[in-house]
Amino acid sequence: MKRIYDLIAAAALLASSVMMSSCDEFTPVFTGKYPEPESYQPVVMTPTHTIAELAAMYETGKPMRLTENIIIAGKVSTSDQAGNFYRSLYIQDETGGIELKMGKTGLYNDYKPGQTVYVNCTGLWLGMYGYDEPDNYGGGNGMVQLGYEDPSGEYETSYIEVQYLIDAHVFRGSLGSPVEPVVVADADLPDAEDTQATNQYVGRLVTLENLTYGNEIFTLLYVNGNKDRDASENRVFLSDGTFGITTWAMSEQKVVEHLLAGDWDDCNVGNGRDADNGVYGSVADHKDEMVTYATPANVSQYFKTPEGTEIQIRTSGYCRFADLEIDPDVLAGRKTINATGILTMYQGSIQFVLLDQNGIEVNE
């Protein structure tokens, strides 16, 4: 039996090495109609650890295979139906939330918001996504997450690709009412060193109120989406400005519109933090190729709390509301927004991920 398990696990690792997406990116999600899920018998299990206690076992830079008997439980707080979450879901308890890297799309069919999920963590891998060494640019913690081993070593966790392994570790409990978001005050927001182990709101569904537009975006574009996306000569970073981007993210069509309008003509090609920035010319020099091989672009729209804490609302270019225009009064600073989504960390900064467009409320 152990040999069969090992063979299946090896297949999962091989698949994950092929399917792993860049740490800078979301990836396209099928958001159509799936067949109705089969009926199931809800299970009841006794947790041995809270999510915070599990997260506390992680040591920075040391992904670990969990060998002791560990069971956690939480309610599903996300849905991938709108396409802003990809092959994973979040569950949360009263101590924090954690991402389960499930390796499947259409998870919303089987794992409903508010449903209790139990995870037998024995044999899974605990790692962190989005850690950055503190340096001149800041840096700090990302998100502790549960998944499988990444054979490439590029990531600390990979996806649980094989259904056999998912069934062996993730168990559906009873359905319940959807998770109610908690309104989080500025004083309760995480610092760069926080994780789920030290801040109860990290990884949970929360609402941030009265956010003001920060007149800044961040996005990563490619000269040719079919070429090496890590190559400096294939990268264009837009940051420290708005660059005419007034939507939550950008579909391929929206990227092409901006290119043809010349909104980014003067932007350099190359990595923004190293000497290659600008060596490869400008967007104008590569415009024809960029139009031909354009891909959807993820965007971080920057906002600030009333006390001045910076929040990045990060949205996938593949999601259903990617091209939704932000209210002009919000962009002009005449109105604020309340945002509801998952509070996450990336390189010590707060990144906020919406479940769908209903997570934005414009204050009159």
CA dist 238 and 257 (Å) reads 16
The pLDDT tens digits of the residues spanning 220-249 come to: 999 999 999 999 999 999 999 999 999 999
- Note the pLDDT of residue 6: 43
136: in domain: yes
Note whether 61 and 158 are same-domain residues: yes
Note whether 152 and 226 are same-domain residues: no
Rg for the chain (alpha carbons), in Å? 20
CA dist 144 and 24 (Å) reads 17
- Note the pLDDT of residue 266: 96
- Note the pLDDT of residue 36: 57
Give 93: exposed, middle or buried? Use CB within 10 Å, 0-12, 13-18, 19+: buried
Q: How many other β-carbons are positioned within 10 Å of the β-carbon of residue 197?
A: 20
Q: Is the model more confident about 15 or about 102?
A: 102
Residue 139 Rama label (left phi>0; alpha psi -120 to 50; beta): left
| Residue with tokens 């297949």, as numbered in its chain | 11
Token code pair at residue 273: 């933090």
- Note the pLDDT of residue 136: 58
Tell me the residue range of the domain where 50 lies. Answer: 2-179
The average confidence (pLDDT) of the chain is 90
The pLDDT tens digits of the residues spanning 166-212 come to: 999 999 999 999 999 999 999 999 999 999 999 999 999 999 999 99
- Note the pLDDT of residue 40: 78
Mean pLDDT of 291-313: 98
- Note the pLDDT of residue 336: 98
CA dist 295 and 23 (Å) reads 16
- Note the pLDDT of residue 270: 92
184: in domain: no
Band (pLDDT 50/70/90 cuts) for residue 303 is very high
Note whether 175 and 227 are same-domain residues: no
Band (pLDDT 50/70/90 cuts) for residue 32 is low
CA dist 137 and 273 (Å) reads 9
- Note the pLDDT of residue 28: 56
CA dist 242 and 86 (Å) reads 26
**CATH number of the domain to which 137 belongs:** 2.40.50
Position 25 pLDDT exceeds 70: no
* Residue among 336, 309, 302, 305 at smallest CA distance from 215: 302
* Helix/strand/coil for 1: coil
CA dist 10 to 6, 27, 127, 150, 249, Å?
A: 6, 24, 19, 11, 36
Note whether 223 and 168 are same-domain residues: no
- Note the pLDDT of residue 134: 83
Band (pLDDT 50/70/90 cuts) for residue 35 is low
Give the helix/strand (H/E) hosting 13: helix 2-19
336: in domain: yes
Note whether 37 and 167 are same-domain residues: yes
Note whether 6 and 153 are same-domain residues: yes
193: in domain: no
65: in domain: yes
Note whether 46 and 113 are same-domain residues: yes
The pLDDT tens digits of the residues spanning 99-149 come to: 999 999 999 999 999 999 999 999 999 999 999 988 756 789 999 999 999
Note whether 212 and 172 are same-domain residues: no
| Count of structural domains within the chain | 2
Among 138, 163, 179, residue at a domain's last position: 179
Note whether 59 and 144 are same-domain residues: yes
Position 263 pLDDT exceeds 60: yes
Letter string b/e over residues 327-363, b meaning 16 or more CB atoms within 10 A of that residue's CB: eeebeeeebbbbbbbbbbbbbbbbbbbbbbeebbeee
Pairing, β 310-315 against β 349-354: parallel
Residues 359, 314 contacting (CB under 8 angstroms):
no
CA dist 342 and 204 (Å) reads 5
Q: What number of helices (H) and strands (E) belong to the chain?
A: 6, 18
Position 11 pLDDT exceeds 50: no
Band (pLDDT 50/70/90 cuts) for residue 5 is very low
194: in domain: no
Among 124, 144, 179, residue at a domain's last position: 179
192: in domain: no
The percent of residues above 70 in pLDDT, for the chain, comes to 88
Mean pLDDT of 295-310: 98
Note whether 175 and 213 are same-domain residues: no
Residue 253 backbone phi and psi in degrees, to 5: -60, -40
* Helix/strand/coil for 62: strand
Give the range among 32-46, 157-171, 257-271 with minimum mean pLDDT: 32-46
- Note the pLDDT of residue 18: 35
Note whether 234 and 323 are same-domain residues: yes
Note whether 161 and 16 are same-domain residues: yes
Residues ≥6 apart with Cβ < 8 Å to 325: 246, 247
191: in domain: no
- Note the pLDDT of residue 181: 98
